[in-house]
Amino acid sequence: MDFEMKEKKFHCPYCRTEITVLLDPSVPKQRYYEDCEVCCNAIEISYEFSDGELIFFQALPEE
C-alpha cells in the first residue's frame, strides 16, 4: 500500500509559532526532535499512524 506524506500543523511549545511538518504514514510509530525555526528550541515530536490515519500526535518541549 502506498501512503502519501501527511501535513500536520502544530504550535511550538515554546513560542507558539505555527509549524507544519510532513509525517510519513509508512512508519507507524515515530519519535524525533525538530528544531523550531523561530526560537531554535528542540521539540520532541511523536506520532502514530494506523492504516494511514494519524491516531496520535504530540509536540512536547525537550526534557
Residue ranges that bind Zn ion, judged by CB under 5 A: 12, 14-15, 17, 36, 38-39
Helix (H) or strand (E) segment spanning residue 45: strand 42-50
Q: How far apart are CA 20 and CA 10, in angstroms?
A: 7
Minimum distance, C-beta of residue 32 to Zn ion, in the bound complex (Å): 16
Minimum distance, C-beta of residue 55 to Zn ion, in the bound complex (Å): 25
Minimum distance, C-beta of residue 18 to Zn ion, in the bound complex (Å): 10
Compare residues 23 and 36 and give the one whose CB is closer to Zn ion: 36
At 4, list the grid cell: 502519501
